[in-house]
């Protein structure tokens, strides 16, 4: 069987993380990269680490002619245009087997629907990359608790959070380009994971019906950490004029259409988590059983004294979004696998080879976008919204959060 060829559109942080994950995927190569910057560096990494003869292509069409799957890892604001270029390449004869899009699928419901429509034009299978659902820890807890769930009933409450000290690149901090703040950036992870964990075993991904949402968004700090402020100054982002929420929390209520059971999903996300670094925390409570996941509880810790701290050139060699170079540090030796990136790449490879959608397709990504946007609307209105209301769903089609319009200063609570 020929090796499966991934082509990356974008060479920023997420593309580099996916390249690291691809090192653990059998029968797969990174065959090409197309990006405005960083492409040469990423191609060199691929060659040095046995990911094939990765080439830099000048445009999306050329990339699509030399890979099996085109993966959109470019910034949020560029994705519709890139998807259109992929459609054009397929019409011109590019031999693609599938298209991948990193979360979030769209910055608005309208944008996500546009991407779904563009993918439909190609007739190709799709993969929505939401890595946390693919985490081995999530799979393991579901397998371990399957007998209890069968005997006692499904989970009633799931709580999922992702927190760290903020994104790497300046465009993330510009809500008009990113699509909002931490709710758009990371709330999509936590909402998807909680919905997934609550879904009874053997049922489709969207089996549980969303019926209501409430949310709060806030700005925890006007004064950014120095290393983030330097980044924003370099990128020309004035966060004081167009602030985005760096804290979001909320509750989504779901209904089991077969039994009528009501279950709850709580999400919490922060860009101002001033501890070791990235923390994924998830737990679920069922009748007589429970699970808990905390990515900072590593079996490996290291200690670095003040005197030795200068020897650490890259704090993130120990942990993504690490905020410290000394003291007692948690180390995750294989973050790409821990966070589910390896498994989602394997899923896309197998699905596209079989000519089918991945476990999570773009239609699923659209539903997650709807829930994220509904959470923004609930926070703005300071109301619990009825997601079964057809009028509300129509409003979401044209909705752009005030934060994403650059008007965050008008509505954000400053804590």
Over residues 37-95, the pLDDT tens digits come to: 999 999 999 999 999 999 999 999 999 999 999 999 999 999 999 999 999 999 999 99
> So what's the pLDDT on residue 26?
96
Over residues 383-412, the pLDDT tens digits come to: 999 999 999 999 999 999 999 999 998 899
Same domain, 314 and 350: no
Structure confidence at residue 206 as a pLDDT band (50, 70, 90): very high
What is the helix, strand, coil percentage profile of the chain, to 5?
A: 40, 20, 40
Over residues 12-41, the pLDDT tens digits come to: 999 999 999 999 999 999 999 999 999 999
Contact 215, 266 (CB under 8 A): no
Same domain, 136 and 11: no
- Mean pLDDT value across residues 206-218: 97
Contact 362, 101 (CB under 8 A): yes
Residue, of 142 and 167, whose pLDDT is higher: 142
Residue 269 belongs to some domain of the structure: yes
Same domain, 323 and 288: yes
Q: What is the pTM of this model?
A: 0.93
Structure confidence at residue 313 as a pLDDT band (50, 70, 90): low
Render 109-167 in DSSP notation, one character per residue: HHHHHHHHHHHHHHT--EEEE-GGGG-HHHHHHHHHTHHHHHHH---SEEEEEEE-S--
Same domain, 116 and 261: no
Contact 216, 250 (CB under 8 A): yes
Over residues 241-261, the pLDDT tens digits come to: 889 999 999 999 999 999 999
Q: Which domain holds residue 227?
A: 132-334
Rounded to whole angstroms, the Cα distance separating 410 from 238 reads 16
> So what's the pLDDT on residue 36?
95
Residue 381 belongs to some domain of the structure: no
Residue 290 belongs to some domain of the structure: yes
Give yes or no for residue 234 having a pLDDT over 80: no
Q: Express as a percent the part of the chain with pLDDT over 90.
A: 78
Same domain, 27 and 55: yes
Give yes or no for residue 312 having a pLDDT over 60: no
Q: Which of 334, 353, 383 is the last residue of a domain?
A: 334
Rounded to whole angstroms, the Cα distance separating 15 from 218 reads 29
> So what's the pLDDT on residue 84?
98
Give yes or no for residue 212 having a pLDDT over 70: yes
Residue position matching structure tokens 């079996």 = 299
DSSP character for 200?
P
Residue 178 belongs to some domain of the structure: yes
Same domain, 17 and 153: no
- Mean pLDDT value across residues 200-213: 97
Smallest CA-to-CA distance from 372 within 184, 174, 196, 215 is with 184
- Mean pLDDT value across residues 293-320: 70
The pair of structure tokens assigned to 272 is 């101002």
Residue 394 belongs to some domain of the structure: no
> So what's the pLDDT on residue 414?
80
Residue 408 CB partners (closer than 8 Å, separation 6+): 175, 181, 219, 242, 243, 244, 245, 402
Structure confidence at residue 318 as a pLDDT band (50, 70, 90): low
- Mean pLDDT value across residues 359-373: 98
Q: Which range among 75-84, 153-162, 230-239, 340-349 shows the weakest confidence by mean pLDDT?
A: 230-239
Smallest CA-to-CA distance from 68 within 94, 44, 92, 45 is with 94
Q: Which of 319, 334, 349 is the last residue of a domain?
A: 334
- Mean pLDDT value across residues 285-313: 81
Same domain, 121 and 60: yes
- Mean pLDDT value across residues 336-360: 97
Q: Which residues pair with 290 in a beta bridge?
A: 285
| Phi, psi angles (nearest 5°) of residue 241 | -85, -35
Residue 293 belongs to some domain of the structure: yes
Same domain, 141 and 186: yes
Structure confidence at residue 321 as a pLDDT band (50, 70, 90): low
> So what's the pLDDT on residue 315?
54
Same domain, 51 and 64: yes
For residue 43, the domain's CATH number is: 3.40.50.720
Residue 372 belongs to some domain of the structure: no
> So what's the pLDDT on residue 326?
65
What is the total count of domains within the chain?
A: 2
> So what's the pLDDT on residue 223?
54
Same domain, 346 and 267: no
Same domain, 293 and 223: yes
Residue, of 324 and 382, whose pLDDT is higher: 382
> So what's the pLDDT on residue 158?
98
Average pLDDT, the chain: 92
Residue 52 belongs to some domain of the structure: yes
Contact 77, 400 (CB under 8 A): no
Q: Which residues pair with 286 in a beta bridge?
A: 289
Q: Quick check: helix, strand or coil at residue 259?
A: coil
For residue 166, the domain's CATH number is: 3.30.360.10
Same domain, 245 and 350: no
Burial status of residue 311 (CB atoms within 10 A of its CB: 0-12, 13-18, 19 or more): exposed
- Mean pLDDT value across residues 264-279: 89
């Amino acid at each position: 069987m020929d090796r499966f060829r991934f082509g990356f559109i974008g060479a920023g942080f997420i593309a580099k993380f996916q390249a690291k994950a691809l090192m653990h995927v059998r029968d797969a190569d990174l065959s090409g990269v197309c990006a405005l910057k960083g492409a040469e560096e990423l191609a060199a990494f691929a060659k040095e680490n046995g990911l094939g003869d990765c080439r830099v292509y000048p445009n999306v069409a050329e990339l699509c002619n030399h890979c099996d799957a085109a993966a959109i890892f470019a910034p949020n604001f560029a994705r519709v245009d890139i998807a259109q270029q992929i459609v054009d390449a397929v019409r011109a004869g590019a031999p693609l087997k599938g298209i991948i899009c990193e979360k979030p699928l769209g910055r608005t419901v309208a944008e996500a629907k546009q991407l779904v429509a563009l993918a439909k034009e190609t007739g190709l299978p799709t993969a929505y990359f939401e890595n946390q659902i693919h985490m081995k820890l999530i799979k393991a807890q579901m397998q371990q608790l399957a007998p209890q769930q069968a005997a006692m009933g499904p989970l009633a409450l799931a709580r999922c959070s992702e927190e760290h000290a903020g994104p790497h690149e300046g465009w993330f901090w510009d809500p008009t380009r990113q699509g909002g703040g931490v709710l758009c950036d990371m709330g999509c992870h936590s909402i998807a994971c909680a919905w997934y964990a609550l879904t009874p075993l053997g049922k489709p991904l969207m089996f549980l019906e969303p019926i209501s949402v409430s949310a709060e968004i806030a700005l925890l700090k006007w004064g950014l950490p120095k290393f983030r402020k330097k980044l924003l100054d370099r990128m020309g982002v004035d966060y004081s004029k167009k602030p985005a929420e760096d804290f979001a929390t909320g509750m989504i209520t779901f209904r089991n259409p077969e039994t009528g059971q009501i279950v709850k999903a709580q999400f919490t996300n922060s860009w101002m988590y001033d501890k070791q670094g990235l923390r994924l925390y998830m737990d679920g409570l069922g009748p007589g059983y429970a699970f808990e996941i905390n990515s900072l509880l590593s079996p490996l810790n290291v200690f670095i004294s003040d005197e030795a701290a200068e020897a650490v050139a890259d704090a993130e060699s120990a942990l993504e979004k690490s905020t410290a170079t000394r003291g007692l540090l948690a180390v995750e030796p294989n973050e790409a696998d821990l966070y589910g990136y390896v498994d989602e790449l394997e899923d896309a490879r197998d699905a596209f080879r079989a000519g089918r959608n991945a476990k999570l397709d773009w239609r699923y990504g659209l539903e997650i976008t709807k829930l994220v946007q509904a959470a923004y609307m609930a926070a703005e209105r300071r109301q619990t919204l009825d997601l079964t209301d057809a009028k509300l769903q129509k409003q979401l089609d044209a909705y752009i959060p005030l934060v994403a319009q650059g008007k965050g200063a008008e509505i954000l609570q400053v804590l």
